[in-house]
Chains A and B, each alone.
Chain A
Amino acid sequence: MTMRRLINLKRVEARRIYLTYAVVIAAYVICQVMSSTKFLSSSMRGMLVPICAYMVMSVSLNLVVGISGELSLGHAGFMSVGAFSGVASAILMQGVITNAPVRLALAMIVAAVFAAFAGFVIGIPVLRLKGDYLAIVTLAFGEIIKSLLNNFYFGMDSQGLHFSMLTDTTRLLKGGRLIIRGPMGISGIQKIATFPAGFILLMIALMVVFNLVNSRSGRAFMAIRDDRIAAESIGLDITKYKMMAFVTSAALAGAAGALFAMNYSTIVANKFDFNTSILILVFVVLGGQGNMLGGIIAAAVLTILPEKLRQFSDYRMLLYAIILIVMMLATNNDEIKNFLNRINPFRRKEAE
């Protein structure tokens, strides 16, 4: 390999970052225009906010899986912490702050704080483990969060806030409101999440992740991912940086959860189960680990795809599974990749 052929990493990286921002902004403008000119079906319009939330989840998980190189199978847990704390705080703020966008923003911040705290608490044990063991513990935490939220009761009356576990023993006074009702979750949510809010959150998430990656912290994350022992030998604090990535990721997931939840009138803890965690992981892996734009596109495609496959009704999820397997085989098996390169005239140059 000659030096001339080696790519200029810095320039490629910068170009990729600007491309990502550009694609996101362009997509937003196009969707806005289409939805105002009624090109977008109402079912598609209803999916815009969830798609944004999933895109933020994809970016946030990419920070852990792609940049820090740790496998997390419980990311939906942070989304759920964010959803519940965000919605509950929005309901509490209903009387005080009447402006919906401001309330949404505050709720997302509260959600991010709660999820970041959960990330910190979980990170203490999780980040001491390695590889598959770390993965299984994140899975376990996701399930624990789900179980706890399924048995959590939270309400407010003139005496203040009340909460209880397992059974509803909040004994609210007359005029009080039981906000979180165990397995029934939260209902009667005001749908204040909007597509522009989702777009802004996505841009913030991208800014946080890109700027963090291109800083001393990001170099530390990637150094630890590439070689833990060498990273220690140059004086990097492994625990600190792993925790930083994990908590940042959890905070973003929490904000996304709040956005997601406030697009529906009812939210239950079972929505954020293992399958949701896996779905988000699939976005990241299909989009390419560490590739934010890829993850965002994968999130959009895999959220729209099941809807578009509705005409196949019963075969829908089956097709989804097959597409998933075939895509993994096509992108990871050398023989199939070579075959695709041979039949694709546009790729020939790259393959040589």
Chain B
Amino acid sequence: MKAKTKYVPVPSKAILPDRDAARDPVLECVNLGITLGGIKAVDNFNLTIGRTEIAGLIGPNGAGKTTVFNLLTKVYQPTTGTILLNGRDTHGMNTMQVNRAGIARTFQNIRLFRNLSVVDNVKAAMNNEMHYNMFSAILRLPNYRREEVAAHRRALKLLSIFDMQNMADVPAGSLPYGAQRRLEIVRALATNPSLLLLDEPAAGMNPSETADLMDNIRKVHEMFQIAIILIEHDMSLVMNICEGICVLNFGQIIAKGTPDEIQNNPAVIEAYLGRRKEV
């Protein structure tokens, strides 16, 4: 593993909650940027996320929010900048390695394994904590049974957080929409991440479903004590749940701060509502 770190301390206003003040941050982005088709889709992106922080990433459509997630998970390789995950430079890693290093994510357009059952979707994500090889599987050796049973139990337990244990054997593709979104979160959690990225988890949900989701995210956060970044357009969700918020517009961070600070920030209001015309 290359230990080459291009990290230069840059004054970036961290929005860590108090309880994380003395601990190492889980994620540090320094001067992160990418050029897609000649356009700087994300530029000069600096962000620090604490061990147990819930942060929101908001901004108008096309601001580059999902691109940030794609950079963090190495779906795109950044053109500039550094990502430190648990103090480790992720330079040169691919999506799989980043996941093994501790980032799990959900997708804006649901990407489940549609033909696998719900529980198998979760167990697929637990692949890296199982160790039996293909010969144990073919010959059904004891370690196959032991690990499969343990994995199945844990998968059901994870599903029960979202009250989905009774749908375990249903094909994922035939779940109702809201359940599919929840399953994506469970699947991401199954990889034991230290940082969870949620891309519009409440998209397409009605207010009561959104309220349930909010409770679930809080529950996950308390149970696993992990950091969460969420992209969301539902402001009530973001303002209620997030400890820190980062606002993106045209690929640049225009504001960072607590929900209260963001709500009263003139630059944010302008980005969302436009400038008032001078009469």
Contacts and interface: CB of A to CB of B under 8 A. Distances in A.
Touch test A–B (CB under 8 Å):
yes
Interface in B101-148: 104-105, 107, 111-117, 120-121, 123-125, 127-128, 130, 132, 134, 137-140, 144, 148
B70 to A, nearest CB: 10
Nearest to B97: A235
B128 A235 contact: yes
Contacts of A236: 96, 124, 127
A237 interface: yes
Contact of B117 (A9, A208, A216, A218): A9
Given A230-B111, A235-B128, A3 B167 contact: yes
B260 to A, nearest CB: 34
Contacts of B113: 222-223, 226-227, 230-231
A217 to B, nearest CB: 5
Given A212-B134, A216-B130, A233 B73 contact: yes
Interface of B: 73, 75, 94-96, 99-100, 104-105, 107, 111-117, 120-121, 123-125, 127-128, 130, 132, 134, 137-140, 144, 148, 151, 167, 169-171, 174, 176, 187-188, 190-191
Interface in A191-243: 207-208, 211-212, 214-220, 222-223, 225-227, 229-238
Interface in A1-45: 1, 3, 6-11
A294 B191 CA distance: 35
Contacts of A231: 113, 124
11 contacts: A11-B169, A212-B137, A219-B120, A222-B115, A223-B124, A227-B114, A232-B99, A233-B73, A234-B104, A234-B124, A235-B99
Contact of A215 (B73, B116, B134, B191): B134
A231 B107 CA distance: 12
A52 interface: no
A232 B94 contact: yes
Given A9-B117, A216-B123, A237 B138 contact: no
A235 B130 CA distance: 13
Contacts of A225: 115
A244 interface: yes
A239 to B, nearest CB: 9
Given A3-B167, A235-B96, A216 B111 contact: no
Contact of B104 (A212, A214, A216, A233): A233
A236 B116 CA distance: 15
Contacts of B96: 232, 235-238
A9 B138 contact: no
B112 A230 contact: yes
A95 B143 CA distance: 41
A235 B191 contact: yes
A244 B134 contact: yes
